[in-house]
Structure 1
Amino acid sequence: MHVVMLAYPRMTRLELTGPYEVFTRFEVLSLHLAWRSADPVVDGSGLRLVPTTTFCKCPHADILFVPGSPGQIHFMQDREVLDFLRSQTANAAYVTSVCTGSLVLAVAGLMTGYSATCHWLSLDQHAYFGAQPVAERVVADRNRVTGAGVTSWIDFALTLAASLFGEERARRVQRSMGYDPAPPFPGGSPGRSDPTIVAAVREASIGFQRQRERIARAAAAALKQ
């Protein structure tokens, strides 16, 4: 099975390499990091990653995956990227994402009529694209599987693995990775966090979120034309 994973500049590295780590533990999966060229892409923290294939040479996906990041806003109206995702979805058994990668899928018209999640600060933007925003860590709606914020990659990948290979195999991978989360602080979601901390996080990102909101609205309007 071919897993096509979009690798793009300014992505959040963990949202790509995290699921990649889980998927490599299933030998039947062939992983492809796809971008428009074979040149290294630089993630949001400055790490260079080398695509393994280009859009024009990429095999057809059985599983399509899109990570998120602040860099996601640069591709919300990028016809080449969106057309690539649409073409890869045609025969895909699963269309998936982590964080705001689901908004890129939404802009491509690939989440309309589906429930989806993403980072909590941008979750409501799914409604612009005819998707149902759901504030859960992982949301599976038919063949769409989406994860929430950055750290949801483990839950996302294990959920997808269970759908593909059964719960027992997914449980073995979870145990082999030592996944036994015990965060040092409570409040990993807005509903369980100190309201002052939630407000501070919102305030710190308000300028960027307004920019993302404007781009999402414009992309949604273009999609309807």
Structure 2
Amino acid sequence: MTKTIAFVLYPGLTPLDLVGPLQALTVLSQLRPGFATMVVGQTLDPVATDTPLRVAADRSFEEVPEPDVLLVPGGLVPTIRALTDQRLLDYLRHAGGRAEQVTSVCTGSLLLGAAGLLEGRQATTHWAFLDALAAFGATPRRRRWAADGNVITAAGVSAGLDMALHLITRLADEDAARQVQFAIEYDPEPPLGGLSWPDAPRSLWDPLREETLRQGLADAPDLRERLLSAMR
């Protein structure tokens, strides 16, 4: 039987969180029979992202109620705002509770947490929001991706590709993951080298993070304080 891999769409997400893993898993479906990728949303109307690009789902939540694999991308203010979107959270709770693999990229893991899917799990997210995971009963881990049972969470944006290749080894095998890596020519050599975490620009991100929570959870002050408290 074909395994369905559902990528969750909602307004304001970061497109690379979605499109990077979507490209990798779509290549898997082209190389190996038995996999189908789809993008699911509340409607099929185009929605804004945090770039000028607009994107649209090809299936509604109702059409794909129980995918085999669920992937939730992240973002900034719109993602934080989505922590109180009950229709989205209900879908994540239902689909994630039945999926073979539940995954996220960047702050998409906060949505998994808000849906009750990270309780007692190790998880990761963008470094600036990492400690916020504790507010949802998760154990924060600073890793490129964190796997705990059937839940795999990736760190910020580009880490989604690493997580996707790990996911492919779970769904198929290492040979398939290597084939996909060659297909998308994923062999990163950043021009400025790797990141030095002691040099992370925290003075820039700390106020941005607080403003993101302030805007995103303006109508949910209790949740905002829970997240801020976890990050202090």
Q: For residue 40 of structure 2, what is the amino acid of its counterpart?
A: A
CA distance in 2, matches of 1:59, 1:209: 30
Segments of 4+ moved more than 6 angstroms = none
- 1:94 corresponds to which residue? 101
Q: Residue 129 of structure 2 contacts residue 209 of structure 2 at CA under 8 Å; is this kept in 1?
A: no
- The residue that corresponds to 1:190 in the other structure is 197
The reply to whether residue 103 of structure 1 matches residue 107 of structure 2 is no
Question: Residue 21 of structure 2 is aligned with which of 14, 19, 30?
Answer: 19
| 1:64 counterpart SS class | strand
Deviation at 1:187, TM superposition (A): 4.7
Counterpart position of 1:68: 74
Q: TM-score, normalised by structure 2?
A: 0.86
1:184 CA displacement? 1.4
Q: 2:49 matched to which residue of 1?
A: 43
User: What SS does the aligned partner of 2:176 have?
Assistant: helix
- Tell me what 1:131 maps to: 138
Pairwise CA distance, 1:6? 0.7
Q: Secondary structure at the match of 2:187?
A: coil
Q: Which moved more, 1:113-122 or 1:34-43?
A: 34-43
Give, in whole Å, the separation in 1 of the partners of 2:58 and 2:224: 29
Distance 1:208 1:91, change over 3 A: closer
The aligned residue for residue 119 of structure 2 is 112
CA distance in 2, matches of 1:7, 1:61: 14
Cα distance per residue 1:179-204 (max 9 Å; x no partner): 1111111352523xx35x44334455
Cα deviation 1:29-85 (Å, max 9, x = unaligned): 212211111111111112111111112222421001100001211210111111111
Question: How far apart, in 1, do the equivalents of 2:203 and 2:39 lie?
Answer: 36
Give the Cα separation in 1 of the matches to 2:210 and 2:94. 34
Partner of 1:218: 223
Q: Which runs of 5+ in 1 are unaligned?
A: none
Which ranges in structure 2 are unaligned for 5 or more consecutive residues? 227-232
Choose between structure 1 and 2 for higher RCO, CA contacts under 8 A separated by at least 6 residues. Answer: 2
Shift of 1:99: 0.2
Structure 2 distance, partners of 1:42, 1:198, is: 28
> Equivalent residue for 1:152?
159
TM-score, with structure 1 as normaliser: 0.88
Q: Cα–Cα, structure 1 residues 217 and 114, in superposed 2: closer, same or farther, change >3 Å?
A: farther
Number of matched pairs: 218
Q: CA deviation at 1:219?
A: 7.2
Report the Cα distance in structure 2 between the residues aligned to 1:37 and 1:213, rounded to whole angstroms. Answer: 23
Q: Counterpart in 2 of 1:82? A: 89
What RMSD over aligned residues (CA atoms) do the two structures have, in Å? 2.2
Which shifted more, 203-212 or 49-58? Answer: 203-212
Provide the rounded CA distance (Å) in 2 between the counterparts of 1:142 and 1:42.
33
Tell me the secondary structure at the aligned position of residue 76 of structure 1: helix
Residues 10 and 41 in structure 2, CA contact (< 8 A), matched pair in contact too? yes
Residue 177 in structure 1 maps to residue 181 in structure 2: no
In 1: Cα distance, 2:37 partner to 2:145 partner? 22
179-188 vs 60-69, greater mean Cα deviation: 179-188
Q: Secondary structure at the match of 2:28?
A: coil
Match of 1:56 in 2: 62
The 2-side partners of 1:200 and 1:182 are apart by: 25
Q: Report the Cα offset of residue 213 of structure 1.
A: 8.2
